Structure 1
Amino acid sequence: METFTLGTGASIYTQKLLPAISQAQHEIILVTCFWAPSKTLTALSSALERLARQRAAQQPAQPLRVRICFSSRSILQKLSHTSSADGYVYPPSSWSSKLGLPVREVLAAGNMQLEVKSLFFLPFSVMHPKFLIVDRQRAFVPSCNVSWEAWLEGCLEISRRMSRDDPVDGLLEFYHTVWDKELDLGAPQPPIPEHGSGRTSAANDRLEETIKSPADSTASLVDIDVPATAVEWLPGWHHRNPSFCFLPWRFPLAPDTPLNTTILRLLLSAVEKALARGVDVTIVTSRRMMLLEQIVTAGVLRIFYFRSRAGLTSDEEPVHSHLKLSIFDGQHTVLGSGNMDRASWFTSQELGVLVRGAEFATTIKKTVDEALDGRLDPVFTPS
């Protein structure tokens, strides 16, 4: 593990993901859910164009393979989307006009081979995971989309430690299964960089378009021992059947995906048992966001609404929390894309990452607690 970063989508992209993209030599794999005109998209396009022009000046013999994947761009795009599992591949003529990316000629001059694909399955099945893999050596798991929302977001940065059976390989396998079945998982790997070197070099390669947020915070994880066996990817496969039931006495069970089995079933059971034992439970959610999908539970839980910090007028001060984080017993930490709502449980594709370790959990919790300071409104607190 390298870092855990908090901020908004624009600040995380410009301070963490885009510097890593700017250093790519062999392959860039960027997967997100929502794609929209925004400061993030403008910065991403500029970073790709700058990289292409640098490569054009250097004339590298080896091409740079770039894959961009997303699910949602507009209502019309989703209504007319193909139901094929192969998705829709955007023609080069649409890269700039429809997607806000550099034109084909600029990328080709830098020997960059771009493919842009979307996947969506009616009626509600979006591909909700977000991640970036650079040169199969570094991976980032952000909660943010390529879009305009100024929400509190988080991003876990991982570097390869082993040539095979590394957590980065697990993420590559997920990408291969969903987005690119022709991906050669056995391709020769570049040399593994010295632990921590990727983090330092990325920090030294700041972009002109760096965007900062009052919520920005980064915790170093370099000195925390997290063996590969302590990291587990938790996919939540999409389901086209939303399993709606209009009989009030019947409650359809959510599908048995690895993510649901790890989080949903255990969470509900653990919360019920904890409350029965008199344990206080704290929940932080967003006010007036996805109201139809949120279940608000009263009682002796501690429930807070996230809000902007008073007195801050920055455009990048978060107005909602989009961070997905669960910590159990101070030892088990789950980050990723899954929300605690019906869409994530039943229809959307999701991806979580479970990290086992007390020191890791403590560091993540401390970083988040500091970011939440002054940004919480109590709803229910123990009497």
Structure 2
Amino acid sequence: MQDSIEVGTPAFRRTAWALAAAGFSTFAVLYAVQPLLPVFAEAFGVGPAASSLSLSLSTGLLAVALLVVSPLSEVWGRKPVMVVSLFASALLTLVAAAMPTWHGFLVVRALAGLAMSGVPAVAMAYLSEEMHGRAIGLAMGLLISGNSLGGMTGRLLSGALTDLVGWRAALAAIGLLALAAAVAFQRSLPASTRFTPHPLPWRAVPGSFLHHFRDAGLPWLFAEAFLLMGGFVTLYNYIGFRLLDPPYSLSQTAIAAIFVVYLAGTASSTMVGHAASLFGRRRVLWLAILTALAGIALTLAESLALIILGIVVATVGFFGAHSVASSWVGRRALTDRAQASSLYLFLYYLGSSVLGTAGGWFFAHAGWAGVAGFVGALYLVALAAALRLSVLPPLPEAPPSP
């Protein structure tokens, strides 16, 4: 077995570049539709909650598929699964751009969600296996930075191009960009050297997931995934509806430009992930969630500048908390790391799907105050879970790679 990957080596740079490209592609494809929810509502004659299904169905199917794809990667290998996932999701995005009906569009978006499932949990497992213990915090932060950059670029391009050439051409452009990223990933990612494929007895798969719930810390981290992502997606799902209406009356391009604040998430995920390695996850996680809560509160202001500042602060807090929690899962899971990562991401995307659509009810009945109250309540529960994690007795974590 070869040595694990250290920070500063050529292998680390190749891995970081490849996984950043994978995260970029996956999240550009997944979230390109988010700023277009008002456009879909008008084009297909559906309401805000119904239009959110173009995102929620993708995240919901992705969540379910994670539980199947992760065990498959134990048999087929990490890199092959991720390569197939990236190419399939890019091609399905091109198909979605041409679908003439709302229901057909939703079906293709759901299939794209299934295809995307090959990257998130498998990438986390790849890093847990291949990276040295000293490198995993930074590597995970860089992966999540690629995720945030992809999410920002997908949203920004789709919104701006929709004003120029229409939403179908905008989605087609995202699909072509995702294809380019898939090629870069295939060529750059080093093959696994610390992973041995082995057939899984499928009857044992449920147990390989369920035993993680006997750990004192992992269930709390899974809960963090559900609550944090659900609140974050709700915030971005409905802010466009608010800002399209008076007194703001922003254009689709201007609303898409707000997603540039994802750059703050790109920076915070890396910095907070590294800070957690230095000062301890217990000390950092609850501070990141508190930061996100402060941002949600700021969005209640009437001033557009304060609303945007609130989105920035909430984004910084969310990506920082996600970076800490996701890397913590990989360190606590002594066995079946891919399954532990899959459970975290299953609840992460389930929160996006279920809570992101539920937020439409609060927007319809109580406007933005209802959305902010809903997200604030979710994050208060997440804060309580983080405080609980901070006082748990120390437990054995997965040993650093030699």
Q: Does TM, normalized by the shorter one, top 0.5? A: no
Q: Please tell me whether Structure 1 or Structure 2 has the larger radius of gyration of its CA atoms.
A: 1
Higher helix proportion, which one?
2
TM-score normalised per structure 2: 0.27
Higher RCO (Cα < 8 Å, 6 or more apart): 2
TM-score normalised per structure 1: 0.28
